[in-house]
Amino acid sequence: MGSVIFTKPELAALAALRARFLDGTSAGGGYWKSEAELALYDASFGERIGWKWDAVLAELNARGWRPSAKNIVDWGCGSGIAGRRVLAAWDGFASLTLADVSPLAMRFAESRARENFPALHVRSKSDAADAAAGSLLLVSHVLNEMDDAAAHRLISAARRAEQIIWVEAGTHADSRRLITVREKLLAEFEIIAPCTHAARCGMLAPENAAHWCHHFARVPSEASRDARWSQFGRELGIDMRSLPYSFLVLVRRGAAADFEKQMQGCSRIIGRPRDEKGHFEVLSCGEAGVEDLMAQKRDVPELSKQLRKGRADAVQRWTRDGRRITGAAEE
């Protein structure tokens, strides 16, 4: 972001954007007013979303997964952060299609993508349903702006994609919306992440209604020391240390058999384990469902150390005695 602090009018514009995102008046999209507003978003809220994408892409890379589709569609592109993060993470793509209800947003995203990836074929399409066929479909922070008809159009387009990477905010509501998408697409797709299994989502069991599938991305250390980011957090009342997200990565059925085998028997840690006296309370999701487990520091000292630092791998292969974790191996 750089260290020059925000001006008063910029802070007011950011506060107005945030209020609109939070109070639901952004429903329907198309609210972008100017290129300057998009640039401001891109350098602030958009960059924070970029850190979530970095977390997702780093996890996929660590598991040895990369998409095979050559054409990317960024649906609800806004300033285009998702497409640019994916293009920076992997090479070999032939084209990027930017789709949004806002022509201003598509133009902005197109010009940023061209600047950063001059050799790539970049285009905008307000209706990208055809472009989605056979593509790597990216969706980022869009679901809570969509009514049922718009969500239906997006899901129909998603059914034609080859692979899908979908990142949403880490709130209860947004995670639950994404779980609905998961259940709808499960017949045609296999899951790369976050699930380690293809059974019905365990969060849908009535006893788990209060839980949601969310994870935390790391804020880069430069940003934690940056005057502009601390001003951003302070003035807008945003906790800069916490970056919750929910996500879903899917591939067309039949394309991930080896990957599924590799994940068999693994569980994913949900949210942030609670540090209690002598142990951690861990919400764990696996094929058997969502379970409250307990990791005693004396049973699993290395895992406890990683949990304390917030650095434990989200995917683990537990050895257990009832609810007690007696051994943990990172996948």
Residues forming contacts to ligand SAM in the complex (CB under 6 A) are 28-30, 46, 49, 76-79, 81-82, 99-102, 105, 140-142, 145-146, 150
Whichever of 105 and 191 has its CB closer to ligand SAM, that residue is: 105
What's the min distance (Å) between Cβ of 32 and ligand SAM? 6
Q: Give the C-alpha separation, 124 to 126, whole Å.
A: 7
- The residue (of 101 and 255) whose beta carbon lies closer to ligand SAM is 101
Start-end of H helices in 119-226: 129-132, 148-158, 172-185, 221-224
Closest CB to ligand SAM among residues 176, 211: 176
In eight-state DSSP terms, residue 243 is -
- Nearest approach, Cβ of 16 to ligand SAM (angstroms)? 14
Q: How far is CA 1 from the centre of its chain?
A: 21
Minimum gap (Å) between residue 139 Cβ and ligand SAM: 7
Residue 54 Cβ vs ligand SAM, minimum distance, rounded to whole Å: 13
- Any idea of the CA torsion for 173, 37, 116, 166, to the nearest 10 degrees? 10
Task: Report helix, strand and coil shares of the chain as percent, to nearest 5.
Answer: 40, 25, 35
Q: Which is nearer to ligand SAM, 5 or 150 (CB)?
A: 150
Least distance CB 223 / ligand SAM (angstroms): 17
DSSP string, 18-87: HHHHHHSTTTT------HHHHHHHHHTHHHHHHHHHHHHHHHHHHTT-----SEEEEET-TTTHHHHHHH
- Sign of the C-alpha dihedral, residues 96, 100, 105, 107? positive
Pick the closer one to ligand SAM by CB: 32 or 189. 32
Decide: 223 and 229 in contact? Cβ < 8 Å. Answer: yes
Q: Measure CA of the first residue to CA of the last residue in the chain; give whole Å.
A: 34
Pick 166 or 280: Cβ nearer ligand SAM: 166
Give helix then strand counts, H and E, for the chain: 12, 13
Q: How far is the CB of 265 from ligand SAM (least distance, A)?
A: 34
Q: Which residue has the tokens 């329907």?
A: 28
Strands 267-276 and 189-193: unpaired
Minimum CB–partner distance for residue 17 and ligand SAM (Å): 9
- Return the number of the residue (142 or 266) whose C-beta is nearest ligand SAM: 142
Q: What is the largest CA-CA distance in the chain?
A: 58
For residue 242, give both structure tokens: 């916490």
Nearer to ligand SAM, 77 or 164 (CB): 77
CB of 140 to ligand SAM, least distance (A): 3
Closer by beta carbon to ligand SAM, 77 or else 283: 77
Angle in degrees, CA 273, 216, 72, rounded to 5:
145
> What is the closest distance, in whole angstroms, from the C-beta atom of residue 143 to ligand SAM in the complex?
9
